[in-house]
Amino acid sequence: MNDGVVSRPATRILWRSAELESAERFTAAPTPDGWRLDGVVVLPVDDEPAQISYRVEVDPTWRTRRADVVIDRRGQPRRIGFEADGEGGWTVDGAEANELAGCVDVDLGFTPATNTLSIRRLTETAASDAIAVGETRTLHVAWLPFPGLVAKRNEQSYTRLAPDRWRYRSGEFSAELAVDAAGYVLRYGDDLWTAVLHRTG
């Protein structure tokens, strides 16, 4: 009777970002096909109060299969949709995105939620390939930068500093991430994102 979904607890987080002047309500819940991550971010965009809502669906190995983003300013929503085959093939808004070929994860630049995708895959892979403390892995991701919001390929690296701490690098940018036991971000850098509420179950 138990299909395995019930035994995997959901997570709810309220993040605050001093740098982006944003607040976000995030939820992660198991599905029969993997996990679903949902978030609603409120923040200023071009001196206007704005809302960004998103949903990311991943398979049981935490490979991105779908991501939908809606940015709403002045009641004029803009939608961006990603589809992935889990093997490195992508479409964006229904068009083939060859520039993203080979990427497995999506990274949404306005939230720390999608760092969890890489962290979970790096720690939940086969024991012989799982990253150990002190090791670094380099990944290519389908990145949606903020505020530009134009998808591009991005090289990122993760160094596992401790079971609950990581060093993230992308180009010249670097930040230390503190995470919970499930890989969700509790603190990102000094003040980029901080979890002010964190609940599971």
In this predicted structure, the answer to whether residue 137 has a pLDDT above a threshold of 50 is yes
Integer angstrom CA distances of residue 142 from 17, 134, 150, 184, 195: 23, 25, 10, 19, 25
* Cα 114 versus chain centre, distance: 1
- C-alpha to C-alpha distance for 14 and 198, rounded to whole angstroms: 7
Integer angstrom CA distances of residue 131 from 136, 159, 182, 183: 7, 9, 15, 13
- In the chain, the percentage of residues whose pLDDT exceeds 90 is 87
Question: What pLDDT does residue 27 have?
Answer: 98
- In the chain, the percentage of residues whose pLDDT exceeds 70 is 95
Quick count: other Cβ atoms within 10 Å of Cβ 23?
14
In this predicted structure, the answer to whether residue 156 has a pLDDT above a threshold of 80 is yes
192 or 74: which carries more pLDDT confidence?
A: 192
Terminal-residue alpha carbon distance, the chain: 19
Residue 193: strand, helix, or coil: strand
Quick count: other Cβ atoms within 10 Å of Cβ 94?
7
State the average pLDDT over residues 15-29. Answer: 97
> Which backbone phi and psi does 68 adopt, to 5 degrees?
-125, 130
Question: What pLDDT does residue 130 have?
Answer: 84
In this predicted structure, the answer to whether residue 3 has a pLDDT above a threshold of 50 is no
Report residue 16's pLDDT band, with 50, 70 and 90 as the boundaries: very high
State the average pLDDT over residues 105-131. Answer: 89
Contact (Cβ atoms closer than 8 angstroms) between residue 178 and residue 119 = no
Query: Which is nearest to 51 in space by CA: 41, 61, 64?
Result: 41
Judge if pTM exceeds 0.85.
yes
Report residue 76's pLDDT band, with 50, 70 and 90 as the boundaries: confident
